[in-house]
Amino acid sequence: MEEERPFATLGNYEIVKFLGGDNISKVKLGRDPENLTVHAIKLFKHENLDEQKAASIEKEVNILQAMDHPNIIQFGSANFDATYVKKNGKSYQAVAFTMEYAERGNLFEYLYQTGNFSEGAVRFYFQQLIEGVEYCHNNGLCHRNLKLDNLLLDSNFQLKVSGFGLSTLVEGHFGSKFLTTRVGNEAYMAPELFQGEVYNGPLVDIFACGIILFALLSRRTPFDKADKKFNVYYKLVVEKKWDKFWQVQEKELAKAGTLTTYSPDFKNLIQGMLAHEIGDRYTLSTIKQHPWYNGPAALGICLATELDNKLKIIQQNEETQALEHQKNKELKKQLLQVNQINNESTLMQAFVGFKPFRSAGDTANEEELAVNKEVEQAVDFSLQRKLPEFPVGTLPKARTQIFITSDVKSVFTSLYLACKAELTDFSVSKSHYKIKGRVVKDKGNCNLEVVVNKVGEDSLCIEFLKSSGDMILFYNVVDKIKERLPITTETKEEKTNA
């Protein structure tokens, strides 16, 4: 058997870290062993590409090659038939292109993990965002996928706009300056783009910038999506009921405990950028002349201190996640051996501890008996529900998956009670151990599923899946549900050795 290599490789690069990705591409950190320079490498497996995706990749490469601005991610080189060799020696062909490595991560992670930014820092990054977007527009390009995830920070905490895969020419069809393809993230879509109407590329970029600006100061988006039919908060924008809109937003802001109100200039800028009618929406020129835009920005030591403190929190979280990842790697090995090692105690060491919900047969008080009866009626455990096998070849996800050694009735009972407490409304599947629900907040809503799968002989995986809605809200709800579950970090082995 071939010995595992220390690194995967791509040409001259050693692959040292996974940075992110989606269903289409993966981004990894590559290091040149000769000069120790590092680049972000975006990979697209040939086997996952059709003609349309291949054309989109080629367009992104051509766009990045033409970009030259301090707030636009810098392009390196492209290889449309690269060989990626894994640690185990297996390989696959891929389209690969190198880019500047923005080592400080993206603004979404800072916002989600550390809370909102100071107004001075928000202004600093908003100014850099507008400079980058203006450069694109002046060069005949609209981005169409501006979102917090695509705003990266380099080693000096300078903003870099990335994610140009959905970009296109401003001139539109036959020079009409109007576009028709519905693309992007719904949370950042302008109403005309969301509704599938013809739209002006630069104006939908400006709307997305308005959502980003609001989120940076508030740690949330002003509404789930620009849907005038079903989103009550966006209806206030459409009807220009701004007093009511800001009353709702400031009520939510006060709950966070960082700010109590938005400044009049900030409100005016947001109203202009998020205007429903495109004729009322601010242009980049208007934005750059606005009083809020030209207010004091955080610079120098002040900005560095704020971002350093946020970075420390993220690094601590990454260390915790790395430990969880290592435990999950050990779990994965054990799962692959389940059929060969039929040893319950060995398998249990890889799972979090779980204190089962007491059944009516145990010693219980009247309140516990009443809760038990409610769950029995709501869930109906007499139904023969399916319990699919968890795919052991899948890398476990620490944020949205929990592995537990317990019986499914105890686990699902605790899930039902946790979801009841945290979700606005929900329903229990009659065919699977699955709960579908949603959370409605003043800022918007989130739809999600909680699914239980079987792992090995007597263990389970609880998985949280976002169907639609705000990602930050989703993660917050998942964390709250997990807090309500009777799980412990002690394994059976730790208890024995204590």
- If we measure between CA atoms, which residue out of 364, 298, 5 comes closest to residue 158? 298
CB-CB contact of 49 with 95 (8 Å): yes
Is 356's pLDDT higher than 80?
Answer: no
184 is written with which tokens?
């992007």
Q: What is the pLDDT of residues 201-249, one digit of tens each?
A: 999 999 999 999 999 999 889 998 898 888 888 999 999 999 999 999 9
CB-CB contact of 449 with 391 (8 Å): no
State mean pLDDT over 272-299.
96
Is 367's pLDDT higher than 80?
Answer: no
- pLDDT band at residue 2 using 50, 70 and 90 as cut-offs: low
State mean pLDDT over 352-378.
55
- The pLDDT value given to residue 98: 93
Question: Which domains can be identified in the chain, with CATH numbers?
Answer: 8-99 (3.30.200.20), 107-298 (1.10.510.10), 322-497 (3.30.310.80)
Is 178's pLDDT higher than 80?
Answer: yes
Q: What is the pLDDT of residues 40-69, one digit of tens each?
A: 999 999 988 888 888 888 888 888 888 899
Taking the CA atoms of residue 116, residue 118, residue 120 and residue 121 in that order, the dihedral angle to the nearest 10 degrees is: -50
Average pLDDT, the chain: 83
423 is written with which tokens?
């979700």
State mean pLDDT over 274-281.
96
- pLDDT band at residue 496 using 50, 70 and 90 as cut-offs: very low
State mean pLDDT over 356-366.
43
- The pLDDT value given to residue 83: 95
DSSP 384: -
